[in-house]
Chain A
Amino acid sequence: DTGVSQNPRHKITKRGQNVTFRCDPISEHNRLYWYRQTLGQGPEFLTYFQNEAQLEKSRLLSDRFSAERPKGSFSTLEIQRTEQGDSAMYLCASSPSSGGKETQYFGPGTRLLVL
């Protein structure tokens, strides 16, 4: 069990550019979640997957955001036409089964800075 991994750990980009983040969950975890955390706040839910199916998207996830989990393993989160307000820590988590009540385990996060 190697834990949840995320890449890159840090990303600096210019406003208007596209960025893509990757999350590798704990092996055999069915559920994968994305959260966003801004400075001084708790993480906020963005979206989650049950295997490859995206089951819920928060209103925080604008049309510029898209997430995929094509084979039910790793996931990518893409932000198109980045804005300064997108600067945040993007956290990925996974949990072991479909019940939705199990412990969620978090990765180290990707810190995004949009200049």
Chain B
Amino acid sequence: DQQVKQNSPSLSVQEGRISILNCDYTNSMFDYFLWYKKYPAEGPTFLISISSIKDKNEDGRFTVFLNKSAKHLSLHIVPSQPGDSAVYFCAASAEYTNAGKSTFGDGTTLTVKP
């Protein structure tokens, strides 16, 4: 049973518009959520995170929203830029474990068209 799901394998948006990437989880013990960005032939790099005590965290163009009752989180990128084209992974950690021991979704490939 996959505990972290990213149901959209791909997303294409126009430069300057909003990108919304979604993630669902099933394990109610998860209390820390992260988004990583991955370019081809590179390792994932940390983008933004949110703990379960919050429902929103913002960092520049990136905002993560958490809906605990729905076990759903989303990443908003505004405005989207061509350099944002990458694979985005949602990851979750359970209470008292470290973010190096996370459960990952399968990723969403974002393409931002100029």
Is this pair of chains taken from one and the same complex? no
Residues of B within 8 A of A (CB): none
